[in-house]
Amino acid sequence: GLKHVIFRPHNVYGPRQNLADKYRNVVGIFMNRLLHDQPMPIFGDGTQTRAFSYIGDVAPAIARSPLNPEATNRTFNLGSDRADSVDRLADLVAEALGLPAVKAYLPPRHEVHIAYCDHARARQAFPELTATPLPEGLARMAQWARQTEIPPAQSFEPLEIEAGLPPSWRP
């Protein structure tokens, strides 16, 4: 069969990320909004958690995987082992940019409240994996973002996301 490696990266952020995408990558959304004097939109109360993963920690494993026999025909979760709340992320993004943490709490969305994965298999196959602390990774990204021309943030438009959901996913 065809040799392959599958990665499931989790909430990857860092320099050169698209900061103009208003629907994906919460770190980029928060930076864009603050750099354009707009509040960071937080859906719900901000207690939902995610494992935010610095690009410099995940990209090397992906790049080296074709030459790693331990990776052949396997699937790996790849990212941070630490889960942080979206509210804490907002505070850290503002701190990294040296700006006030201005937040706009919006009605909650139907989403997973706690999201993080076990990365033991990835650490076994890629022992060189690093783990950049979130404040350090955000500081690197903020330094890059301040030197980059970023299109203005766009406001969120109501999106229909419930049509066609299976009954078990409905509130």
User: Does some domain include residue 158?
Assistant: no
User: Does some domain include residue 156?
Assistant: no
Taking only the tens of pLDDT, the chain with its 171 residues reads 899 999 999 999 999 998 988 778 999 999 999 999 999 999 999 999 999 999 999 999 999 999 999 999 999 999 999 999 999 999 999 999 999 999 999 999 888 888 888 999 999 999 999 999 999 999 999 999 999 888 876 655 666 667 777 877 766
Distances (CA, A) of 134 to 12, 13, 42, 59, 124: 11, 10, 18, 16, 23
Instruction: Calculate ∠ Cα 90-95-100, nearest 5°.
Output: 75
Number of domains making up the chain = 1
Bridge pairing between strands 114-115 and 49-50? parallel
Check which CATH number belongs to the domain holding 24 and give it: 3.40.50.720
Concatenating the DSSP letter of every residue in 153-168 gives: P---------TT--GG
User: Does some domain include residue 154?
Assistant: no
Q: Residue 57: give the domain boundaries.
A: 5-149
Q: Which two tokens stand for residue 25?
A: 């990558």
User: Does some domain include residue 163?
Assistant: no
User: Does some domain include residue 161?
Assistant: no
